[in-house]
Copies of this chain bind each other. A is one copy, B any other.
Amino acid sequence: MNKYKITILPDNIEISVEENTTFIKVLTENGIKFEFPCGGAGKCKKCKVKIFKKSGQEEVLACQLKVTEDLAVEILKKEQKHEILTEGVERQVVLDPLIKKVYLELPRPSLEDNRDDWKRVAGNTGIKTNLKILQDLPEKIRESDFKVTLVLTGDEIVAIESRDTSDKLLGMAFDIGTTTIAGYLLNLKTGRELIRVSALNPQTKYGADVISRIKVASESKEGLEKLHKEVVAEINNLIEKAVKETGYKPEEVYALTIAGNTTMHHLLLKIQPKYLARAPYVPVVTERVIVDAGDIGIRINPAGKVFILPNIAGFVGADTVAAALAAEMDKSDELKLLIDIGTNGEMVLGTKGRLFACSTAAGPAFEGAHISCGMRGAPGAIDHIRIDEELEYTVIGETLPSGICGSGLLDVVAELLKAGIVDKNGRILKPEGVTSELGQKYRDRIVDINGIRAFILEENTATGQPVYINQKDIRELQLAKGAIAAGIEILLKTFNAKVEDISEVFLAGAFGNYLKPESACEVGLIPRELEGKIKAIGNAAGGGAKLALLSEKEYERAVMISKKIHYIELSTEPEFSSVFAKNLGF
């Protein structure tokens, strides 16, 4: 088979590939970041690149490109920005971080005080040391003129620094989402957040959802290794970016806290997630894990520690624990409901006395996957729509629209329902079947696209192709919202409570933050009775990770929460199927 040379510009990376290799594969296999917003369908036109070949140069869609000759390809380096929520619930905690510093001026050894070096440092505190510290100790204390700063976690010494460095101590909190990684650099001496950084989880190139990642990881040892390295590399990028932009160095970061769903958790730790994907869906570990940064390749101070928050079960992970911590689900006398809709939909219901959690296969519909014109909440996404006398919408980044994100999808369906264009069963009516006065205004937007009935939202778009929603998309939404609604119903039943007993609904995650509560209730994602009680709390998982980093007590509290929450496996609930089916309609 022929081989051709591809040169990626402007970085001038040379790659040799076999004839007919797709350009998607070329980029993916060589770790080059590039987004194909419509998943390579050739629809969104957002992956346009300039190619240089013998016959001249031209612009093509990268997703449609196959290699049939030597090529140079210029990838536009414009940052693939995407809006993520890194707000969280800010609540007050007493600053008592997982890593601390103590400055000491040690008495010098003398014949009257000839204690060993380590005793001189540790006194009778019972602090535990390690071989590395001991090996460095004699020179360290002497070259520092017996003035040293101890870096501690719990009763364990992490490092010894020369002289007084106690005013400088950094940590980072991470939320490793299936789609997005968000990091927060915190000054642990002041508690102040210095910067927020985020990136697409690079594992997405192996699949949008956890199941496809698990498949890759379980097929071979290399698969697991690959996914592990991808996420670690991106975390390292974000650390580097965060410290660089704030004028620090990675070595000044001594602690990371990490929240993520159970699959992300396992992949980060290079733990095989295979058994998460098959009944009975058991994780390898749920309890808190603390590892040396170096053990998983995290580049902070070489002696630094990574504090992973605990999981609850295979599909309710540390991210839910962190969100429950941020929302203080363990302190409420009143019944509260927490819903975190990311790539999956996890929810927690209860009071401080009793807490239940479940996970529903909400699927990535709300993140734009499996939706004709779906996309994540990135620039170009229609995020809100109102259909009244006019059809009005807003677009993230205030550009021409190129697709529709989760909150937009929810709005569209809610508005189409109200306008009588979609019926209670989720069917888009034929133009002639629309009888409501409002609906009739929009009859001409109901068209067939590729043989499927669709409703056109906008024809003047960034891609040149119309942005629309079709019958299939509505079915996807029904499955997603049906799953979540059923989850709420089962949790309520388990708790032996009614919808109206719920005093507050916390909506976590980007989608939860952007969605219009009215639309969520209109489509039945959330029971109508709760409309006034909905509170968006942003990236609560990240918020919980921050709290844990800033306060030992909060980290311990996360551990308590993970133990306290009873996990309900919906697949074993005999009535789940019927409740789910009942919730499919609007």
Contact = CB atoms under 8 A, between A and B. Distances in A.
A221 to B, nearest CB: 10
Given A117-B283, A118-B284, A135 B270 contact: yes
Interface stretch (A51-59, A271-279, A375-383, A450-458): A271-279
Contact of A114 (B271, B282, B289, B295): B282
A37 interface: no
A269 B131 CA distance: 8
B116 A272 contact: no
A334 B571 CA distance: 72
A90 interface: no
A445 interface: no
A430 interface: no
A134 interface: yes
A111 B572 contact: yes
B289 A131 contact: yes
Interface string A471-487: 00000000000000000
Nearest to A113: B280
A272 B138 contact: yes
A287 B118 contact: yes
A274 B131 contact: no
A295 B131 contact: yes
Contacts of A313: 114, 116
A119 interface: yes
Contacts of A272: 135, 138-139
A486 B578 CA distance: 92
Contacts of A113: 280
Contact of A109 (B120, B139, B282): B282
A289 B291 CA distance: 20
A284 B119 CA distance: 8
A296 B283 CA distance: 34
A14 B275 CA distance: 55
A112 interface: yes
A110 interface: yes
Nearest to A281: B114
Given A114-B280, A114-B281, A313-B114, A274 B572 contact: no
Contact of A135 (B269, B286, B311): B269
Contacts of A270: 135
B280 A134 contact: no
A275 B139 CA distance: 10
Contacts of A281: 114
A138 B271 contact: yes
Given A131-B289, A134-B271, A138-B271, 16 more contacts: A109-B280, A111-B572, A114-B280, A114-B281, A115-B282, A116-B282, A116-B285, A116-B286, A116-B287, A116-B311, A118-B286, A119-B285, A131-B296, A134-B284, A134-B289, A135-B269
22 contacts: A109-B275, A109-B280, A109-B282, A111-B280, A111-B571, A112-B572, A114-B280, A116-B284, A116-B311, A116-B313, A117-B282, A117-B283, A117-B285, A118-B287, A119-B285, A119-B287, A120-B282, A131-B269, A131-B289, A137-B271, A138-B271, A139-B272
The 4 closest A-B pairs by CB, nearest first: A114-B280, A116-B283, A118-B285, A111-B280
